[in-house]
Structure 1
Amino acid sequence: MTDQQQTTLNTRYRDASLPVAERVEILLAQMTLEEKAGLFFQTMIGIGEGGTLSEGDATFGLPATTDYVLDRHMTHFNVLQAPADAGQIAEWHNRLQELAASTRLGIPVTISTDPRHSYTDNPLAGLLAGAFSVWPETMGLAAIGDEELVERFADIARQEYTAVGIRVALHPQIDLATEPRWSRALQTFGEDVELASRLGAAYIRGFQGETLGPDSVATMTKHFPGGGPQLDGEDPHFAHGREQVYPGGEFELHLKPFEAAFEAGTSQIMPYYGMPVGTEYEEVGFGFNKSVITGLLRERYGFDGIVCTDWGLISDSEIMGAPFPARAWGVEHLAPRERMKKVIDAGCDQFGGEAVPELLVSLVRDGELSEERLDVSARRLLREKFVLGLFDRPFVDVDRARELVGRADFVAAGEAAQRAAIALLVNRERELRGAPAAPVLPFARGLKLYVEGIDAEIAGEYGTVVASPAEADVAVLRLQAPYEERPTFFENFFHSGSLDFPADVVAHVREVAAAVPTVVDVFLDRPAILTPFVDELAALTGNWGASPRAVLDVLTGAAEPKGRLPFDLPSSMAAVEANRPDVPFDTADPLFRHGHGLAY
């Protein structure tokens, strides 16, 4: 190929008047094997101080950005924690696109993110909102149960993402939360298949629009074929949680939300880490699983979008100084290059959380994979860049990012959703300040309040804060659903194990409730066992991400509690342990049923 021909081809694939398929072929024909391999890897990337390009991140073992883009030819990145200034995020994005434009073919970068519109701070599951509007967690959206609201949330998130250059959402998570102990339930729509299907589709429409295009954020819907049925509720980020089990024979039920996602046009799919046990499918992690990725996803459902593995299936790593082995469940005995070949043979297009394109190149050079097979996935990956308009509009407007992200009406909508998602579970009649017995909630502003888990200054906006229950008219205690401490710092981001509150917490709640009418608000990231103290409370609410003011607005009647439980609330750990992990609503004699919620 002459220099003249090279220049002509480079110009033609940038011609927006040509069909996308033609532009893809023009570009693909020019790519070296190394450039193609770079497309297959999507990993974490940091933002440098003041919106500069990162020189590396020791916490996650990340190299400098120039290493990724110039040396490894990578063009897909999952952005980690970001500055509170949206303009700095946008400036960083533009610098990254300038770096990508300096390469031989100038292939633009695609930026993705985990959820970042709520209170979650788990580096491998969700991120603090920072500059973005703050909403309840996905489970809170399920508690509201309104498709229009979910689509509006997703549209607002889309606008905020695109303003700073984020073009792929590593969500929604539409697994059915059928195992009460599972640590990832908070980011799902609960355990009801019909609700998860409806709201998951609305979420995709809000991010992508009716069809994927230049104003869309592509959704990477997860975790195919459903990550909820975890043995003992343990999470497959860790070896002790690698097994997914189906004692109730409900494998097919967990596919239903994905069928709705395909109908809504989701652009990408992420398989989960778990390995199915006792099914017709190979007992290896889903990302390695040809019977699931090719047989089920590609052939049965005809899905031709991008399939990206969950993060870290190939290489061992360190997180926060602790060893973090590859999640190569069922194929732990294979070397990294063998694992990589198995993922490609399974039908996947991209390796999440990996940055070793040289390994893929060697597989082709050694004749273990064909370059034609790489071209199949490369076409999908390039096609999405063209469809999203990244070749035509790679840069974002920094001033617009500052104006739009966290805009007042977006923030107000998020705060309203926080309040609406709160579920009123118990509201008993009690005497307050000598008034006749009446439902405790809503209580009037100006009472003497004893509070725990709420900043006294904020509580002081709603009443007079006192130092002890004996001095109070009403007590308000905010609790976190319990979980077991695990050996490593990182694993404790994933709340797992028993749902029973420790004995000292139960005793303390009872002691306060014996002294004064007591309202307990519980962050139900998992369905806590509330039986030991529920009968002694004046009122009980559940939330899935709500600020102290959002809670107090509901408790004082400035807002209505509209939430309904998105799962059964079990009455005992014995019932949880007897629950079949793949079967919805399978805990015996729940304390409160799915859909429970009172009103004022």
Structure 2
Amino acid sequence: MIDPPATSPVDPAFRNAGLPVTKRVENLLSQMTLEEKAGLFFHTMITIGEDGELADADPVFGIPSTSDLVEGRGMTHFNVFGAAASATQMALWHNKLQELAGATRLGIPVTLSTDPRHSFTENPGTAMLAGPFSQWPEPLGLAAIGDADLVERFGDIARQEYTAVGLRVALHPQIDLATEPRWARQVATFGEDAELTGKLAAAYIRGFQGESLGPDSVATMTKHFPGGGPQKDGEDPHFAYGREQVYPGNNFEHHLLPFEAAFDAGSSQIMPYYGMPVGTEYDEVGFGFNKSVITGLLRERYTFDGVVCTDWGLLSDAVIAGEPFPARAWGVEHLSTRERMLAVLNAGADQFGGEAIPELLVDLVRSGKISEERIDVSARRLLREKFVLGLFDSPLVDVERAEAIVGNTEFRAAGEAAQRASFTLLANGTDAAGAPILPLSRGIKVYLQGVSAEAAAGYGKVVDSPEEADVAIVRLQAPYEQRETMFENFFHAGSLDYPAEQLEGLVALCGMVPTVIDVFLDRPAILTPLVGEAAAITANFGAGSHALLDVLFGVADPRGRLPMDLPRSMDAVQASLPDVPFDTADPLFRFGHGLGFSTGS
């Protein structure tokens, strides 16, 4: 940290690590201008420049330059968008960013957050590819394993990798209950069961934060309060057609159960979702604007005094990749950006996710629409966390250590082992002699669709046609409907039925050669037409080709158990209650289903 000049009016007592955090907060707060306080309230995206340099503006996603954000707007909380090529580059960039912040009047360090970046999802609105980090199954895959100790171990490894490069807030775990089978966001949840979700959520938070928040912790921003699963028709509230959360089963309270476990585990932050509840006792406005939910339910009933940050982009319209993306101001669309900001503050939130307009907050205070005392309430929470995380005491990271920690051999091996363990064997037929199809024998001739031929060459002889093969191995994505814009298509939504033409091709292949089908279940695909046709069916929740082949050829036993029901038909899905778990009639495979090679059950 760059010290203020000797003639500076700044009282440096807040830098004294020996003082209680409360005193350090009050000392710093008393010296902050309104503009400096306002900068704390905005938590938006920031990009990493080439070769670890600070970044210029990103016109594709509308992200201002780093110097504009830090020096021009006085902001100190950022969500890191994208990834560097290496841990070294990321650590170097982080240190340059902290040095830039350290040169401002008070030298308030930056807090960096991130969406999940340890799995296989690449969606600029929800998660990043693992890049240099160790790679694990998606949270739904951790739920398929169902081992709280493993989830805590994952959280601890991710914590070490995050802190090594300066990431100090996890914009996760996502502990919504996946009670609407069509919902696009369920791959990042722990599934449909409240008890399992609560158990794994607590373990996840302990892994990232430790028993209490401190200098070695990554703070968790648990989401999406009070539960984002019951989306009308399974549509996501990133988009206007998905704005409503509905509770025809009167099951609102059930969705709070995982959050109670998260509160017990000490989650430092909470993110409310975009959706607006319909037909409940709560205000019919988006949760980020919802005083009855944030103040009444979260602050008062659950006595939560940590940071509450809205989901991204509630206030301002945006343009993403040249396409309009309206603010997710559900229920308050008629309000101006200024009025929406006031509504969020009055609801009880502390930060505006994805926004970078501190001048508007300054205007609200100066015009008398909100008091500076109210601003100070949130500013204290935000500063307190910076102090507790040790950012004022050690703002920089050790670049050499970052390279040694991130993606090291031990961590990568742990992630790959979890990938293998998360595979769920749904069906395993028999050959003409009555022997199980899986595991496959080494050296057989294999025909591949969607599987790396280079990886498979280590297990069998890869052939060019099914007619030549002893077995076909096919990897599928769960089905989804194409939508109008690029950004919408990152969110897999709509029907869970495979198109008829695709099914015809798969069934024909199954008739030509014994076919093993592996499905990435980011949503619960309707597999009914394939059961009985495929020789065997496995489910994965984020896994590489080597992990799949290790399982299919018996190097590893599939340990996964379904973390949700797999519906039998879309008719059953459409007839189910979106707020009630396990509500599709006569599911094809039930929660907890999964076979093993050794036991067959």
Query: TM (normalized to structure 1)?
Result: 0.98
Q: Which residue of 1 aligns with 2:586?
A: 589
Give, in whole Å, the separation in 1 of the partners of 2:392 and 2:11.
12
2:530 is paired with a residue of what secondary structure? helix
Partner of 1:416: 417
- Partner amino acid, structure 2, of 1:538: A
Encode CA deviations 1:301-325: one digit per residue, 9 max, x unaligned.
0000000000000000011111000
What SS does the corresponding residue of 1:415 show, helix, strand or coil? Answer: helix
Q: Residue in 1 aligned with 2:243?
A: 242
Q: Pick from 510, 514, 521: which aligns with 1:513? A: 510
Q: Secondary structure at the match of 2:448?
A: strand
**Cα distance in 1 for residues equivalent to 2:183 and 2:537:** 23
Map 1:517-536; keep pairs closer than 5 Å.
517-536=514-533
Q: AA paired with 2:95?
A: N
Shift of residue 72, structure 1, vs aligned partner: 0.5
Give the distance between the partners of 2:9 and 2:262, measured in 1 at CA.
40
Report the counterpart of residue 307 of structure 2 in structure 1.
Answer: 306
- Distance in 2 of aligned mates of 1:50 and 1:93: 12
Number of residues paired by the alignment?
594
> Structure 1 residue 119 and structure 2 residue 147: aligned?
no
Task: Measure, in 2, the Cα distance between the counterparts of 1:62 and 1:468.
Answer: 48
**Is residue 2:377 matched to residue 1:380?**
no
Secondary structure of 1:420's partner?
Answer: helix
* 1:546 lines up with 2:543 in the alignment: yes
Amino acid at match of 2:218: V
1:34-79 deviation line (CA, Å, top 9, x unaligned): 0000000000000000000001111111111000001110000000
* One-letter code aligned to 1:577: Q
Give how far 1:584 is off. Answer: 0.2
% same residue: 71
* Distance in 2, Cα, partners of 1:338 & 1:175: 29
2:328 maps to 1:327 = yes
Query: In 1, Cα distance between the equivalents of 2:278 and 2:379?
Result: 32
Partners of 2:38 and 2:16 in 1: CA distance: 24
- The letter for the 2-side match of 1:545 is G
Greater shift after overlay, 494-503 or 78-87? 78-87
Alpha-carbon distance in 1 for matches of 2:7, 2:29:
13
Q: Which runs of 5+ in 2 are unaligned?
A: none
List aligned pairs for 1:462-477, cutoff 5 A.
Answer: 462-477=459-474
Select the residue among 487, 491, 496 that pairs with 2:488.
491
- How is 1:121-160 mapped onto 2 (pairs within 5 angstroms)? 121-160=122-161
Return the alpha-carbon distance in structure 2 between the equivalents of residues 555 and 570 of structure 1. Answer: 25
Matches for 1:387-426 after TM superposition, within 5 Å: 387-426=388-427
Match of 2:570 in 1: 573
The 2-side partners of 1:63 and 1:161 are apart by 24
Indicate conservation of the 8 Å contact 1:9/1:26, yes or no.
no
Question: What runs of 5+ residues in structure 1 fail to find an aligned partner?
Answer: none
In the aligned structure 1, how far is the partner of 2:74 from the partner of 2:179? Answer: 41
**Could you tell me how far apart the structure 1 residues matched to 2:490 and 2:54 are?**
28
Shift of 1:10: 2.9
Shift of 1:437: 2.7
Alignment-derived partner of residue 285 in structure 2: 284
Residue in 2 that maps onto 1:78: 79
Structure 1 contact 523–542 (Cα < 8 Å) conserved: yes
Deviations 1:512-552 (A, max 9, x none): 11011110000000000001121111100000000011000
Normalising by the residue count of structure 2, what TM-score does the alignment of the two structures yield? 0.98
Specify the code of the residue in structure 2 equivalent to 1:137: E
Matched with 2:215 is 214
Matched, 1:555 2:556: no
Code of the residue aligned with 2:197 in structure 1: it is A
Aligned to 2:254: 253
Shift of 1:8: 7.5
Contact 1:10 1:105 in 2 (8 A): no
Conservation of the 8 A alpha-carbon contact between 1:312 and 1:327: yes
Q: 1:12, CA displacement in angstroms?
A: 0.6
- Residue by residue, what CA displacement relative to the aligned partner does 1:205-258 show, whole Å, maximum 9, x if unpaired? 000000000000000000000000000000000000000000001000000000
Q: Alpha-carbon deviation of 1:391?
A: 0.0
* Alpha-carbon distance in structure 1 between the residues aligned to 2:181 and 2:221: 24
Letter in 2 for 1:290: K
4+ long deviations beyond 3 Å: 3-9
SS in 2 for 1:201: helix
Cα root mean square deviation, aligned: 1.1
SS of corresponding position for 1:189 = coil
Q: What does residue range 14-93 of structure 1 map to in structure 2 within 5 Å? A: 14-93=15-94
How many angstroms apart in 2 are the aligned matches of 1:9 and 1:409? 46
Contact 2:10 2:106 in 1 (8 A): no
Which residue of structure 2 lines up, in the alignment, with residue 440 of structure 1? 437
